Structure 1
């Protein structure tokens, strides 16, 4: 999983800049998919599933990081 966290797509998702192009994101996603296939030996669907579930958890955690400590009131 650490290998996936080092992929460019996670760097782009963490970017605070709004100047990321669609092409840049598509290329990063393609590299991410290639890395997932490499890690799973191309055919092991249970491994792919576990990798993607762990990745989903990481992406969900990225959504909450910028909000932590902002000092705003909760609804």
Structure 2
């Protein structure tokens, strides 16, 4: 699995694309799909690969957290 596969999963696409309406069912399905990807990655024996994949995904998700906090009335930097 290439390094950026997790960042191209459906859940990340749904979270970053604000132009479309997303149902709860769609988001739940995308999340389950994402978890399956994480499980597949964690089955690897190469711990440096696992670390790199999860760290890259965290880097992709971090800006989304800030985006949604600002939209929910949280303190923005």
Q: Which of the five TM-score ranges fits, normalised by the shorter chain?
A: 0.5 to 0.7
Q: Distance in 1 between matches of 2:35 and 2:25?
A: 15
Once the two structures are superposed, the pairs formed by residues 26-65 of structure 1 within 5 Å of their partners are 26-41=28-43, 47=50, 51=54, 53-62=55-64, 63-64=66-67
Whose Rg is larger? 1
Following superposition, which runs of at least 4 residues in structure 1 exceed 4 angstroms of deviation? 42-46
CA RMSD of aligned residues (A): 3.2
Work out whether residues 4 and 56 of structure 2, in 8 Å CA contact, stay in contact via their aligned partners in 1: no
1:16-63 deviations in Å (ceiling 9; x for gaps): 135100100000000000001011107999947x71x54233111234
Q: Which runs of 5+ in 1 are unaligned?
A: 68-73
- TM-score, with length taken from structure 2: 0.61
Instruction: Please state whether the residue corresponding to 1:2 is helix, strand or coil.
Output: coil
